């Protein structure tokens, strides 16, 4: 085996090892993040109380529950972040012990954040230094135009609106979805039940049914 062939095999092995570590790290983070985001939902399903007909009590309870869920989610995300940092430090330590210094240096390089990767994939913006590659050949009044493509996020919203329209039409025009009149009657019945419940809980309340004439 020649020296160049041995070096190529070593580089290939290092690349495979680096890819494996990166994928392992990403999979672990995805699993932990999924568990973290679903825990508030489980907590809500286990601790949800019976519905209260009082509007303000219901609204305050919902806001309190939402605020608590946000605090819990933020704390869990911080724990996930700390756990990810600890995992990366442990992987670097193991790589150093095995003498894979090249992989360690490559692994230490800052990686683009998930937000940066998302923005790049959602916008597909062309860097300024590459605009000459998408510039039209014609020129009107000294104005040069670029052959920009529609951003993926716009296309996603367009397709999503079509899908929503089809589903909505299928449910309310073809399916058994309630009409506007039926929804109005249902809401009025609920409001009437709420008023009756409120009046029943106010023993000293005076209304047209229990008012007495004093002479």
Q: Pick the more confident residue, 162 or 14.
A: 162
Judge whether 205 lies within some domain.
no
pLDDT of residue 44 exceeding 50? no
Residue 133 covered by a domain: no
CA distance 110 to 158: 35
Instruction: Note the pLDDT of residue 78.
Output: 85
117 to 23, 36, 122, 124: CA distances (angstroms)? 16, 22, 9, 10
Give the number of domains in the chain: 1
Q: Is residue 90 part of a domain?
A: yes
Band (154; pLDDT cuts 50, 70, 90): very high
How many Å separate Cα 60 from the centre of its chain? 25
Q: Report yes or no on 117 lying in a domain.
A: no
In a domain, residue 168? The reply is no
Q: Domain span at residue 29?
A: 1-111
- In this structure, the number of other CB atoms found within 10 A of the CB of residue 12 comes to 10
Judge whether 110 and 22 are in contact, CB under 8 Å. no
**pLDDT tens for each residue of 176-199:** 888 888 899 999 999 999 988 887
3-state secondary structure of 147: coil
- What would the pLDDT profile of 82-133 be if each residue is shown by its tens digit? 887 787 777 777 767 766 665 656 566 677 777 888 888 888 888 788 878 8
192 within a domain of the structure (yes/no):
no
Give the model's pLDDT for residue 191.
95
Instruction: Give residues with Cβ within 8 angstroms of 191, minimum separation 6.
Output: none
Tokens for 41, please give them. 């939902």
> Average pLDDT in the 122-150 region?
81
Q: Are 140 and 152 in contact (CB under 8 A)?
A: no
Whether residue 80 contacts residue 33, with contact meaning beta carbons closer than 8 Å, is answered with: yes
- Which pLDDT value is given to residue 140? 76
pLDDT the model gives residue 6: 40
Query: 37 lies in a domain?
Result: yes
In a domain, 174, yes or no: no
Please give the residue that has the higher pLDDT: either 205 or 192. Answer: 192
Interatomic CA distance for residues 87 and 82, integer angstroms? 9
Residue 107 in contact with residue 91, Cβ under 8 Å? Answer: yes
Residue 48 above 50 pLDDT?
A: no
């Amino acid at each position: 085996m020649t020296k160049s062939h041995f070096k190529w095999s070593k580089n290939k092995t290092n690349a495979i090892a680096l890819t494996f570590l990166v994928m392992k790290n990403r999979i672990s983070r995805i699993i932990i993040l999924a568990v973290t985001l679903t825990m508030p939902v489980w907590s809500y399903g286990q601790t949800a109380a019976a519905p209260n007909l009082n509007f303000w009590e219901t609204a305050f309870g919902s806001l309190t529950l939402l605020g608590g869920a946000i605090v819990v989610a933020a704390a869990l995300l911080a724990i996930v972040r700390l756990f990810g940092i600890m995992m990366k430090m442990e992987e670097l330590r193991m790589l150093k012990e095995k003498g894979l210094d090249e992989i360690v240096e490559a692994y230490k390089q800052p990686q683009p954040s998930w937000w940066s990767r998302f923005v790049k994939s959602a916008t597909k913006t062309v860097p300024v230094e590459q605009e000459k590659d998408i510039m039209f050949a014609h020129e009107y009044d000294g104005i040069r135009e670029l052959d920009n493509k529609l951003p993926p996020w716009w296309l996603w919203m367009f397709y999503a609106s079509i899908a929503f329209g089809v589903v909505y039409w299928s449910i309310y025009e073809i399916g058994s979805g309630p009409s506007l009149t039926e929804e109005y009657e249902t809401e009025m019945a609920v409001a009437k039940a709420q008023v009756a419940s409120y009046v029943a809980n106010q023993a000293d309340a005076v209304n047209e049914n229990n008012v007495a004439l004093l002479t």
